[in-house]
Amino acid sequence: MVFKVSIIIPTYNREAYLRKTIDSVINQTIGFDNIELIIVDDASTDNTQLIIKEYKKKYSNIKTKYLNENTGFPGKPRNVGMSLATSEYIMFLDSDDYFEKDACEVLYEKISSENADIVFGTYTIHKMDRIIDGTPEYFRRKGTLIFNPQDDEFLKVIELVSTKLSLNIYNKKLIDKYNIKYLEGIPTQDGPFFIECLLNSNSIIYLTDFNVYNYISHDYSITASRDVTYFKGLFKAENYAFNIFKNKNREEDYKYYLKRRINFFMNQLLSSNIEEENDLKEVLNLFKNFFNKVDSYSISPTDDLSKLTFNIIKNNEFDNFDYLTNVHLKVKRVWNHNEVLKLKNSNIKEKDKKTREKNLELVEKNADLRKKYWKLREKNDASKKRIKELQTTKGWLNYKKSNVIDRIKNN
């Protein structure tokens, strides 16, 4: 059977979220029979595989693959998924996120009708019961943008647009032609894959007003363990991204990608859980070597704490790093506390809004009841007046007279 799109979901211990993720694919308006769903499990130890097998029994268009050993990151599962894909177009979805109902239909119609290499939209972030628009401010309300890697707008995409893969639909011919794959066994492999696809594309479409999917932000993740291995992988991915630009003779354009990454690097470092002094020095040297490599771009972090960290590393003042991490932890605690207060305040405002709306409903209902009351009172007053008239001789005679006349008319 020929499918319109292949959707690849890598999974690892996501039993609590996986059903909602898969259901969001099944319920697509494009029709699930037009979708080839490929689920690659990275050796889960919970009930994830049981859930996958349950869906596999129900639907013939679901392909599954179970890796024997956990690779730690979704790079290999995604590569395995791509090798199994038979559709002309490919999409990705993480196993705890979910698509909007028309995500596949809108992206497919656009990429197939325009013969584009990549089409992507925006997303919504769900964090601590807050809903955040994932569209960069620069691109909001700009409608549909069509461009290629030679356009100025392309550099803004590199600098600002999220590299989250669930936003995009890819033409498989592009991926196959340039043999584009995910880096395996390392973090942040999304970025290099997205950049390599972008730089090799001829036509890119950005639907700035279309929400593709919902990203669930957790307090925990793979990157929660920021140890030496994690940072080695981080810079392996970053060096790979740098070489993509270099091989395309676009070394200067790498600075736009680096702008978005530099604050992320600092945040990851300050949030690390490295305790051994030798390990910390090794990681700080990784940072220093990378910063020396990209020194010509004159890129530095934007927030004050990250700037201090950046300068400490560049100036080899490693002894001051412990002090900064303590400051960062305190700042983070205050920030987290502030976020909780914001959430509580938001909830109070929401309750107040609902109370006001309810109050307005009650006011409207009360107004309706008052109208009904006055109508009933008018009828009651008229009835009382009529009864009083009938209690008089004149009134009784008039009533009998009108009654006789009515009978004559009816006969």
Q: How far apart are CA 107 and CA 116, in angstroms?
A: 11
Q: Which of 106, 96, 115 is nearest to 211 (CA)?
A: 106
172 close to 111: Cβ distance less than 8 angstroms: no
122 close to 210: Cβ distance less than 8 angstroms: yes
Given pLDDT bands bounded at 50, 70 and 90, which one contains residue 40?
Answer: very high
What's the pLDDT score for residue 222?
46
Based on C-alpha coordinates, what's the Rg of the chain? 32
Average pLDDT over residues 319-338: 56
Q: Which domains does the chain have, with CATH numbers?
A: 5-224 (3.90.550.10)
Q: How far apart are CA 63 and CA 142, in angstroms?
A: 38
Contacts of 163 (CB under 8 A, 6+ apart): 190, 191, 193, 194, 195
- Res 233 pLDDT > 80: yes
Q: How far apart are CA 274 and CA 229, in angstroms?
A: 11
Q: Which of 208, 212, 205 is nearest to 143 (CA)?
A: 208
Average pLDDT over residues 178-197: 93
18 close to 31: Cβ distance less than 8 angstroms: no
Q: How far apart are CA 395 and CA 402, in angstroms?
A: 11
The C-alpha angle 47, 49, 50, rounded to 5 degrees, equals: 65
The C-alpha angle 269, 192, 14, rounded to 5 degrees, equals: 70
- What is the amino acid identity at position 385? K
Work out the mean pLDDT of the chain and round it to a whole number: 86
Helical packing angle, 254-270 and 152-160, nearest 10°:
10
pTM greater than the 0.75 cutoff: yes
The C-alpha angle 295, 301, 303, rounded to 5 degrees, equals: 160
What's the pLDDT score for residue 400?
61
- Res 364 pLDDT > 90: no
Average pLDDT over residues 240-256: 93
Give kind and range of the element (H or E) at residue 200: none
Q: What is the pLDDT of residues 61-111, one digit of tens each?
A: 999 999 999 999 999 999 999 999 999 999 999 999 999 999 999 999 999
The DSSP letter of residue 210 is E
Which pair of tokens denotes residue 381?
């007053």
Q: Tell me the backbone φ, ψ of residue 217, rounded to 5 degrees.
A: -90, 120
